[in-house]
């Protein structure tokens, strides 16, 4: 039997065109689109660009997509042969410092704390977003560490939890419990497994409950998604923040932060942090 072949269309585009071209690739038949930039395990081709990697079910479908794209985008087809590629990314995923106190390690790497205050979290992202290496995740994690006094004994809401990494960080820094929600039910098993890996399963609730269906208000809410999702969800997310509470928003590209902040008015901005082209907003409500 011949080994299976998986066709992918690669396109390098300026960051500001990534969303529009991703949608175009889906319209051309892509089954999924991976975005590679300076903060992902597999990096983009050049600074200021992102590489879109679109998966197609057949070589013919990939060829039709390439023919339909502008030649100036230099679309190209790359094929992966066999199934070893599924775990190839693990070669690049090593223990790393996520925040001044939190170190993340994958299950296949050993890493012992080197300081009394160091916390080592074991994380297997699976197919969920959230290795911790992307700037959007690290910005929120560092903000949680910096403001850990708010976490002491608190219940935290994690919207769009992905691998559950931000819930685990909050719990490891003193939160009493985390409610992790994601509209992709397939990642919830990953979240629960990661909680169990760290002995935190009894303090983490993971579900596909829409944020608009929640009724509890939380002293700390985090949402690491994308600006195009954060803006339409502004009323539903901000309604879940307790009076005087903290809301951390990430997944925001440089230049989008004003629109996001306006959508969450009248919440007051406490801080704006940056890493590369990514921005994290810390907002609060009136006490």
> Are residues 77 and 172 located together in one domain of the fold?
no
* Tally of structural domains, the chain: 2
In 105-242, which residue ranges form alpha helices assigned H by DSSP? 135-146, 165-172, 188-197, 227-230, 234-238
Nearest to 66 by CA among 79, 48, 84: 79
CATH number of the domain within which 54 lies: 3.30.70.120
> Are residues 58 and 132 located together in one domain of the fold?
no
Q: How many CB atoms lie within 10 A of CB 155?
A: 19
252, 275 contact by CB (below 8 A) = no
Q: What pLDDT, on the 0 to 100 scale, is given for residue 179?
A: 98
28, 63 contact by CB (below 8 A) = no
> Are residues 139 and 207 located together in one domain of the fold?
yes
Q: Does the residue 238 lie in any domain?
A: yes
Q: Does the residue 103 lie in any domain?
A: no
Q: What pLDDT, on the 0 to 100 scale, is given for residue 265?
A: 95
Sign of CA dihedral 188, 195, 123, 119: positive
Q: What pLDDT, on the 0 to 100 scale, is given for residue 281?
A: 98
Q: Does the residue 96 lie in any domain?
A: no
| Whole-angstrom Cα Rg for the chain | 20
> Are residues 76 and 134 located together in one domain of the fold?
no
Q: What pLDDT, on the 0 to 100 scale, is given for residue 141?
A: 97
Give the whole-angstrom CA distance, residue 195 versus residue 206: 10
> Are residues 182 and 269 located together in one domain of the fold?
yes
> Are residues 141 and 274 located together in one domain of the fold?
yes
41, 89 contact by CB (below 8 A) = yes
Crossing angle for the helix pair 188-197 and 165-172, to the nearest 10 degrees: 30
Q: Does the residue 85 lie in any domain?
A: yes
> Are residues 246 and 144 located together in one domain of the fold?
yes
Q: Does the residue 98 lie in any domain?
A: no
> Are residues 199 and 151 located together in one domain of the fold?
yes
Domain end call among 89, 117, 151: 89
| Per-residue pLDDT of the chain in tens (287 residues, 90 and over written 9) | 567 788 899 999 988 888 889 889 988 998 878 888 766 655 555 667 888 988 888 999 999 999 999 888 889 998 877 655 555 556 667 888 999 999 999 888 888 888 889 999 998 876 556 667 788 999 999 999 999 999 999 999 999 999 899 999 999 999 999 999 999 888 899 899 999 999 999 999 999 999 999 999 999 999 999 899 999 999 999 999 999 999 999 999 899 999 999 999 999 999 999 998 899 999 999 77
Show the domain range for 36. 5-89
User: How many angstroms separate the most distant Cα atoms in the chain?
Assistant: 66
Q: Does the residue 114 lie in any domain?
A: no
173, 201 contact by CB (below 8 A) = no
Domain end call among 89, 116, 151: 89
Q: How many CB atoms lie within 10 A of CB 100?
A: 11
Count Cβ neighbours within 10 Å for each residue of 262-273 and write b for 16 or more, e otherwise. ebbeebeeeeeb
**SS3 label, residue 188:** helix
> Are residues 18 and 141 located together in one domain of the fold?
no
Q: Does the residue 71 lie in any domain?
A: yes
Q: Does the residue 105 lie in any domain?
A: no
Q: Which strands make up the sheet holding 204-207, listed edge to edge?
A: 204-207, 177-181, 155-159, 218-224, 241-253, 278-284, 268-275
Q: What pLDDT, on the 0 to 100 scale, is given for residue 17?
A: 87
> Are residues 243 and 175 located together in one domain of the fold?
yes
Give the whole-angstrom CA distance, residue 131 versus residue 90: 11
């Amino acid at each position: 039997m011949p080994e299976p072949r998986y066709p992918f269309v690669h396109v390098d585009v300026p960051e500001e065109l990534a969303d529009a071209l991703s949608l175009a690739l889906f319209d051309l038949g892509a089954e999924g689109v991976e975005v590679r930039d300076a903060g992902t395990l597999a990096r983009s081709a050049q600074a200021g660009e992102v590489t879109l990697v679109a998966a197609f079910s057949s070589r013919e479908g990939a060829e039709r997509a390439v023919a339909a794209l502008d030649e100036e985008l230099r679309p190209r087809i790359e094929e992966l042969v066999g199934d070893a590629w599924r775990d190839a990314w693990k070669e690049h995923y090593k223990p790393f410092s996520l925040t001044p106190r939190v170190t993340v390690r994958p299950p296949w790497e050993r890493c012992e704390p080197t300081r009394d205050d160091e916390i080592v979290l074991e994380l297997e992202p699976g197919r969920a977003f959230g290795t911790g290496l992307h700037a959007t995740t690290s910005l929120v994690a560092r903000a949680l560490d910096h403001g850990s006094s708010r976490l002491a004994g608190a219940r935290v809401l994690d919207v769009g939890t992905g691998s559950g990494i931000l819930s685990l960080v909050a719990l490891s820094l003193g939160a009493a419990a985390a409610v992790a929600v994601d509209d992709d039910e397939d990642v919830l098993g990953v979240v629960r497994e990661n909680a169990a890996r760290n002995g935190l399963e009894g303090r983490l609730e993971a579900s596909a409950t829409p944020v608009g269906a929640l009724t509890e208000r939380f002293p700390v809410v985090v949402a690491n998604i994308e600006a195009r999702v954060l803006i339409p969800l502004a009323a539903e997310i901000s309604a879940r923040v307790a009076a005087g509470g903290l809301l951390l928003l990430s997944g925001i590209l440089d230049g989008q932060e004003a629109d996001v902040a306006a959508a969450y008015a009248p919440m007051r901005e406490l801080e704006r942090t940056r890493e590369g082209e990514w921005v994290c907003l810390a907002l609060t409500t009136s006490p």
